[in-house]
Amino acid sequence: MTATDRSTELITVAAQAAADKLAHDIIAYDVSDVLSITDAFLLASAPNDRQVKSIVDEIEEQLNKQLGAKPVRREGDRDARWILLDYVDIVVHIQHSEERVFYALERLWKDCPEIELPEDAKATRGKGEAHAQQQADEAGEAM
């Protein structure tokens, strides 16, 4: 079994929206063979809480505007460290960069096939690590 066309369409729009708001390390997995509750996961991260919220808001807006989709559940708003949007067909995880490293969801789903994403979304790969290195370099210079 593979993700439905609808799931792939939702993932594509959500990934582009995340890329438009400068999310880091956007990746999507087809989890339909291992989970019965959803077809696909989209993972993305950001270096601060405000950007996490901004990415989530843009994903919600674009999925509603372009595809008429609204999440059935939204969790994690209060702390904005890890916000989950459940659209039934897909689940979107937007994490603060620290949570992304700590929980390493990619490790859990690495055996699942990746879903092809728009070029803008693919271009975000490695940006989280680059940002962390830049922060470390700036902190070192300040000392």
Taking the whole predicted model, whether its pTM rises above 0.75 is answered as yes
Q: Is 74 exposed, middle or buried (0-12, 13-18, 19+ CB in 10 A)?
A: middle
CA torsion sign for 54, 36, 29, 1 is negative
Annotate 17-40 with DSSP letters as a single string: HHHHTT-EEEEEEE-TTT-SS-SE
- 71: its two tokens: 């999440």
Whether 3 and 40 have beta carbons less than 8 Å apart is answered as yes
Encode the chain (143 residues) as per-residue pLDDT tens digits.
688 999 999 999 999 999 999 999 999 999 999 998 999 999 999 999 999 999 999 999 999 999 999 999 999 988 889 999 999 999 999 999 999 999 999 999 999 999 999 999 999 988 767 666 666 666 666 66
Q: How far apart are CA 127 and CA 141, in angstroms?
A: 21
Q: What are the pLDDT digits (tens) for 117-139?
A: 999 999 998 876 766 666 666 66
